[in-house]
């Protein structure tokens, strides 16, 4: 049978590693979905050509004219109507996200303090047991080790609760920021006449895009200007 005391000490070391979670805000920016106006077409539909209209007036009156749907011009210049933003650059530079991260880190320090307090108490109990073990009877050692194991289980449960709380809080703060960014991107697109604004994310949403279609810098300036007015 393994030495229960050594097992308890190993548990202390394992629990100490878990505390590092709370010191790191592992935020991976999520590409915000862009709300688009369903009444706005992605590409403009050109008017029928003038010569086509003229030809229609010369058709024989004995045969009805056949109405034809306008053909979309797939070769036109749509710069200024179609653009993209880089999600990482936009979110990392957005003051609202920076403030959300600072708020989370402040709460995380509080959770880490709770975690360290629990571990310090557990470590003190283990050290006290080590000093007294030689003078204890077998029954006393077994009882003390049982209590230490129960304390370890309670600490593990408390840590799981703190981790769950941290994850929920991080998700809440991130979602709040992304919803705000979505609304402001929609307003920016409508104000500047864009038909579509795409998100270039590390996951590879956009494989290629000309740099003149990248509006991350002006959008970021727009977001921060609006945030400062709050």
Q: What was the pLDDT predicted at 77?
A: 53
CA nearest neighbour of 123 among 161, 151, 154: 151
Q: What was the pLDDT predicted at 138?
A: 92
Q: What would the pLDDT profile of 91-107 be if each residue is shown by its tens digit?
A: 999 999 999 999 999 99
How is the chain split among helix, strand and coil, in percent rounded to 5? 65, 5, 30
The predicted model gives 32-41 an average pLDDT of 38
Q: Report the percent of the chain where pLDDT is more than 90.
A: 57
CA dist 229 → 39, 187, 225 (Å): 30, 16, 7
CB 34 within 8 A of CB 198: yes
Q: What would the pLDDT profile of 131-142 be if each residue is shown by its tens digit?
A: 999 999 999 999
What three-state secondary structure class fits 224? Answer: helix
Q: What would the pLDDT profile of 4-16 be if each residue is shown by its tens digit?
A: 444 433 444 334 3
pLDDT, the chain, mean: 74
Q: What would the pLDDT profile of 106-120 be if each residue is shown by its tens digit?
A: 999 999 999 999 999
């Amino acid at each position: 049978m393994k030495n229960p005391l050594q097992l308890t000490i190993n548990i202390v070391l394992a629990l100490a590693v878990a505390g590092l979670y709370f010191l790191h805000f592992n935020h991976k920016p999520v590409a915000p979905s862009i709300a688009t106006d369903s009444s706005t077409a992605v590409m403009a539909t050109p008017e029928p050509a003038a010569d086509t209209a003229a030809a229609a007036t010369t058709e024989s009156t004995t045969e009805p004219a056949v109405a034809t749907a306008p053909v979309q011009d797939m070769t036109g210049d749509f710069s200024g109507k179609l653009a993209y933003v880089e999600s990482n650059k936009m979110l990392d530079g957005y003051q609202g996200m920076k403030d959300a991260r600072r708020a989370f880190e402040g709460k995380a320090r509080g959770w880490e303090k709770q975690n360290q307090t629990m571990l310090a108490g557990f470590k003190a109990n283990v050290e006290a047991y080590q000093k007294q073990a030689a003078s204890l009877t077998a029954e006393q050692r077994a009882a003390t080790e049982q209590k230490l194991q129960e304390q370890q289980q309670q600490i593990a449960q408390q840590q799981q609760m703190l981790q769950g709380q941290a994850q929920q809080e991080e998700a809440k703060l991130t979602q709040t920021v992304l919803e705000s960014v979505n609304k402001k991107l929609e307003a920016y697109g409508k104000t500047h006449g864009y038909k579509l604004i795409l998100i270039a994310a590390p996951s590879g949403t956009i494989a290629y895009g000309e740099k003149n279609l990248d509006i991350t810098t002006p959008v970021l300036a727009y977001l921060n200007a609006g945030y400062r007015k709050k």
